Amino acid sequence: MTVRDLDGWTIAFDLDGTLVDSAPDLIGTLNHLLNAHGHPPVPLSAARHLVGHGARALLRHGFAEAGAVWDEVADPGLFDRFIAHYLGRIADDSRPFEGVVETLDALAGRGAVLCVATNKRSDLAEALIEALDLGRHFAAVAGADRVSARKPAAAHVVEAVRMAGGDPARAVMVGDASTDTGSARAAGVPCVVCGFGYNDLPLHQLGGDVVIDSFLDLIAAVERLSARTLLREPAI
């Protein structure tokens, strides 16, 4: 059997802003609800950075961005209306970023096992992944509800890798936001930052190990980080 250079490695991917440009449908859903409440819409460009902390945070901060307030106690149903509307249009305008499918195939071809670690609810993450026909790539999908603590906690990336049958000491995280770099750093897992995603901090402040401007640059970044991890390990 041939030995492949990424055999034994697990790559954990964030979903929104990393694998999929999902902001059009997420912000579209936010704007649908703002409109229903008589508030102005928020422009996509000004709201992309709000994606990454889950739907509840998007609603809270999205309403604030529009100069409005979501009082969750007074209107607890708003969250359910968000989920229902979003599910109905989950991939109307959302698409994988350029190069995603061929890069995932190439990583798997070199032996890596792939999984998803997202702050989305798992049912929404799986619906989006299935709608875009990406399901075959992943050994596990770890939404916020399937882990003991969500990103930026270390547990999210660690448990996602284990769900995929992998070892966190042989893993790389790929993400776009401080939740991803925070989780990876806390877990001692090297992190690739997607500069084309929904960065919530300036890139140099995100604390990743490598920044890529295109998904097509991911393989070279993974090669670098996996080699660096192996070099750091003491020889037996």
CA-based end-to-end distance of the chain: 25
> Considering the complex, what minimum distance in angstroms separates the CB of residue 74 from Mg ion?
30
- Which of 6, 15 has the CB closer to ligand PGA? 15
> Considering the complex, what minimum distance in angstroms separates the CB of residue 89 from ligand PGA?
14
Tokens of 161: 């890798």
Which partner from the list Mg ion, ligand PGA, none does 189 bind, CB cut-off 5 to 8 Å by kind?
none
> Considering the complex, what minimum distance in angstroms separates the CB of residue 4 from ligand PGA?
28
Confirm whether residue 176 is marked as ligand binding.
yes
Q: Is 14 in the site for ligand PGA (CB under 6 A)?
A: yes
- Which of 16, 65 has the CB closer to ligand PGA? 16
Which partner from the list ligand PGA, Mg ion, none does 55 bind, CB cut-off 5 to 8 Å by kind?
ligand PGA
Among 10, 54, 94, 159, binds ligand PGA (CB under 6 A): 54
> Considering the complex, what minimum distance in angstroms separates the CB of residue 3 from ligand PGA?
33
Active site residue 167: no
The residues, ordered by sequence, that sit 6+ positions from 103 with a Cβ below 8 Å of its Cβ are 215, 216, 218, 219
Q: Please name every residue paired with 12 in a beta bridge, in sequence order, or none if there are none.
A: 115, 173
Q: Is 156 in the site for ligand PGA (CB under 6 A)?
A: no
Q: Is 15 in the site for ligand PGA (CB under 6 A)?
A: yes
* 92 in Cβ contact with 86 (< 8 Å): no
Chain center to CA of 132: 15
- Which of 112, 177 has the CB closer to Mg ion? 177
Can you list the alpha helix ranges (DSSP code H) found in the chain?
Answer: 23-36, 44-47, 55-65, 77-88, 100-109, 122-131, 154-163, 178-187, 218-232
SS3 4: coil
Cα(186)–Cα(123) distance, rounded to whole angstroms?
26
Q: Is 182 in the site for ligand PGA (CB under 6 A)?
A: no
* 47 in Cβ contact with 23 (< 8 Å): yes
Site for Mg ion, rule CB under 5 A = 14, 16-17, 52, 176-177
Residues classed as catalytic: 14
Site for ligand PGA, rule CB under 6 A = 14-17, 51-55, 58, 118-120, 177
